[in-house]
Amino acid sequence: MSIKRSLLASAVGLGLTAGIASAEGHATTITIATVNNGDMVRMQGLTDDFNAKHPDITVEWVTLEENVLRQNVTTDISTGGGAYDVMTIGTYEVPIWGNNGWLVSLNEGMADDWNADDLLPAIAGGLTIDGELYAAPFYGESSMVMYRTDLMEKAGLEMPDAPTWDFIREAAAAMTDRENEINGICARGKAGWGENMAFLTAMSNSFGARWFDEDWAPQFDTEAWANTLNFYLDMMNESGPNGAANNGFNENLTLFQQGKCGMWIDATVAASFVTGADSTVADKVGFALAPDTGLGKRGNWLWAWSLAIPTSSEKQDAAKTFISWATSQAYAELVAGKEGWASVPPGTRTSLYENQNYLDAAPFAKMTLDSINSADPTNPTVDPVPYTGVQFVAIPEFAGIANQVGQQFSNALAGNQSAEEALAAAQELTLEEMEAAGY
């Protein structure tokens, strides 16, 4: 299924409905809120398989762009609105919402063959509180470098398995060809805590930066953050695409698939799309670990898009039935049969990385697993911090603060202010918000 379909989802959502009513007309209807990423779009296209197995459950989809999804589900669950029976949420939300009593435990009621023990420990750990699993991972990811092998060779360079940021910038400049609309580097610039701030927070870890010191004092006025942001802006201005401040995951994916990026540093889950049928450069893609600066931390993150049930849902059994289907080993086999093993949602189950069919079909499999296993949310930075999370800070206030900081950094990328001005604004607003929150 084409990733381009995902871009058709607007902020008002897609009212796609799938399901078969029972003979008595008493089908249970569940509403699922999900993100317009390619794997989720593919899941919707395969819902007929779920319908055939569970004709008594009707599925209604609400498909939203990432920032809009987060806003909608956060508002709904915090107010007990009950609009959704299944929510697609991330590793940031699960521990906070689970601790608030907003999510249903999945320790019981899942399908007999669902096999929770098969989940990758690094991924399941971020979705578990005191032994209770509060979300089932649909796909897990870290981040890595995806690059054009032909352009790297043309530039006379060889990508190391573990590159430095200096090498990435050098290679980006060498691969840039403005006349032919080839950008040496593509990276997130769109404002949002899960968009540009996911990339920049992970990047900052490798430069020795951190969001807060051990006393929760904001750190945007430090040399490490100045080095991070200036390097990013200089690299993107030299070798990035026009309008980069508007580009998030999907926009950069399209650019790479169209052959307009020499390198793209982003989610490992994108690997199957840049090597898939929709990619014009599918046979010319290589992979490397996210870059570092020699300080002991790489610029890669740890994330899972997961399916969870809000306690406000009145259809929790049907919701568990759907989640069991969508996150099962059988679903992986379904995708493999329809799209090939390389298209299976990655990063969630140990068994997938022991499956020779998958390893043979997915040249990115080992790099994905290595990237996931190398990210440490309990020790994410060079200097000690009071928080967990690699590309986020696991406190409720983070999303709102990071959205504002992300806007400052996006404005700097757009040329509307300097790095110094953006960092000063980030420091001021973060300090103000943290003091108001009682830190």
pLDDT, residue 26, reads 67
In terms of pLDDT, which residue wins out, 125 or 425? 425
143-300+380-436 matches 3-141+303-361 in CATH topology: yes
- pLDDT tens for each residue of 69-125: 999 999 999 999 999 999 999 999 999 999 999 999 999 999 999 999 999 998 999
Q: Mean pLDDT across the stretch 18-42?
A: 76
pLDDT band of 264, cuts 50, 70, 90: very high
Structure tokens at 437: 């929150």
pLDDT of residue 2 exceeding 70 = no
CA angle 307, 311, 313 (to 5 degrees): 80
Is the pLDDT higher at 14 or at 224?
Answer: 224
Distance between CA atoms of residues 357 and 338, nearest Å: 14
At residue 106, the pLDDT reads 98
What are φ and ψ of residue 335, in 5° steps?
Answer: -60, -45
Separation between Cα atoms, residue 94 and residue 272, nearest integer Å:
26
Q: Where are the alpha helices (DSSP H) in 176-277?
A: 196-206, 223-239, 249-257, 271-274
Residues 348-369: what's their mean pLDDT? 96
Fold of 143-300+380-436: D-Maltodextrin-Binding Protein; domain 2 (3.40.190)
What pLDDT is recorded for position 67? 83
Q: Is the CB of residue 389 less than 8 Å from the CB of residue 301?
A: no
How would you classify residue 116: left for phi > 0, otherwise alpha for psi between -120 and 50, otherwise beta?
alpha
CA angle 414, 415, 419 (to 5 degrees): 105
Which contiguous run of DSSP H or E holds residue 144? Answer: strand 143-148
Spans of all domains in the chain = 3-141+303-361, 143-300+380-436
pLDDT at residue 25, rounded to an integer: 52
Reading the block at residue 76, the tokens are 């709904």
DSSP-derived pairing of the beta strands 143-148 and 132-133:
unpaired
pLDDT score recorded for residue 5: 32
Q: DSSP label at 279? A: -
Residue 346 has pLDDT above 90, yes or no: yes
Q: Which of 128-132, 420-424, 429-433 has the lowest mean pLDDT?
A: 128-132
The CB density around residue 379, as the number of other CB atoms within 10 Å, is 12
Specify the pLDDT at position 12: 34
Mean pLDDT of the chain: 93
**Rounded Cα–Cα distance for residues 160 and 166 (Å):** 12
Average pLDDT over residues 145-172: 98
CATH number of 3-141+303-361: 3.40.190.10
| Residues 25/301, Cβ–Cβ less than 8 Å | no
- Strand pairing report for 261-267 and 183-186: parallel
For residues 153-163, give the mean pLDDT: 97
**Judging by beta carbons within 10 Å of its beta carbon (0-12, 13-18, 19+), is residue 354 exposed, middle or buried?**
exposed
| Strand partners of residue 18 | 59
- Assigned token pair, 256: 């790479």
Q: What is the pLDDT of residue 66?
A: 87
- List, for residues 281-297, the tens digit of each pLDDT value: 999 999 999 999 999 99
Q: Buried (b) or exposed (e) across 58-82, using 16+ Cβ within 10 A?
A: bbbbbbbbbbbbbbbbbebbeeeee
d(CA 395, CA 157): 42
- For residue 8, pLDDT beyond 60: no
**Local structure of 262: helix, strand or coil:** strand
Which residues are CB-contacts of 228 (< 8 A; sequence separation ≥ 6)?
A: 200, 203, 204, 207, 209
How many percent of the chain have pLDDT more than 90? 89
Mean pLDDT for the stretch of residues 131-149: 97
DSSP secondary structure letter of residue 295: S
Tell me the angle at which helices 196-206 and 398-413 cross, rounded to the nearest 10 degrees.
Answer: 90
Q: Residue 223's pLDDT is what?
A: 98
Q: CA 423: distance to chain centroid?
A: 25
Higher per-residue confidence, 198 vs 16: 198
Query: What radius of gyration do the chain's Cα atoms show?
Result: 21
Per-residue pLDDT of 286-335, as tens digits, reads 999 999 999 999 999 999 999 999 999 999 999 999 999 999 999 999 99
Longest dimension (CA), the chain: 68
197 has a pLDDT exceeding 50: yes
What is the reported pTM? Answer: 0.84
Statement: residue 18 has pLDDT above 80:
no
CA 80 to chain centre: 26
Q: Output the six-digit token pair for 334.
A: 């379904």
- At residue 23, the pLDDT reads 38
- In angstroms, the CA 269 to CA 198 distance is 15
Position 65 pLDDT exceeds 50: yes
